[in-house]
Amino acid sequence: MSKQIRSLVFALAIGTIAPIAACNDTSDPAAAPAPRTVASMVPRITRSLTPAAAEERFGKPDEITGSGLLIYVYRVEEGKKIHLGFPGFAPIIYATVVDASGGSQALTLRD
């Protein structure tokens, strides 16, 4: 292949790849999802909340744990975590916020 053809192929490849790479740039802060906070989550924790609805409202949990219960754990600000307890895929039975030192506080489930 001649040097001119190689240069042309290279230029075409760069011209095709560069715009795609620019579209995938996730460094734009406006495009990033807002961080989870206790204040933003609490009003949306209702008695009818199911695991599927929790994922729609808050995104995928950071952890899923539990033995007999399905417990979704969401990390929030200042090292805190919100635990949402579900009996399988049925509506929520409890919610707590756990602080960085391990202390917990029950959250009121809204109607």
Note whether residue 101 is domain-resident: yes
Question: What was the pLDDT predicted at 56?
Answer: 97
pLDDT in tens, 94-111: 999 999 999 999 999 999
Question: What was the pLDDT predicted at 34?
Answer: 76
Check whether 13 has a pLDDT greater than 50: no
Rounded Cα distance between 37 and 100, Å, is: 14
Note whether residue 14 is domain-resident: no
pTM metric for this prediction: 0.71
**Which residue reads 């495009």 in tokens?**
31
Q: Which residues are paired to 105 by β-bridges? A: 97
Amino acid (one-letter) located at 75 = R
Please give the C-alpha separations between residue 18 and each of 7, 23, 54, 111, in angstroms, as whole numbers. Answer: 16, 9, 37, 50
Note whether residue 20 is domain-resident: no
Structural domain range at position 82: 38-106
Check whether 63 has a pLDDT greater than 60: yes
Percent of the chain scoring above 90 in pLDDT: 67
The C-alpha torsion from 23 through 26 and 32 to 35, rounded to 10°, is 160
Domains: count for the chain: 1
Note whether residue 32 is domain-resident: no
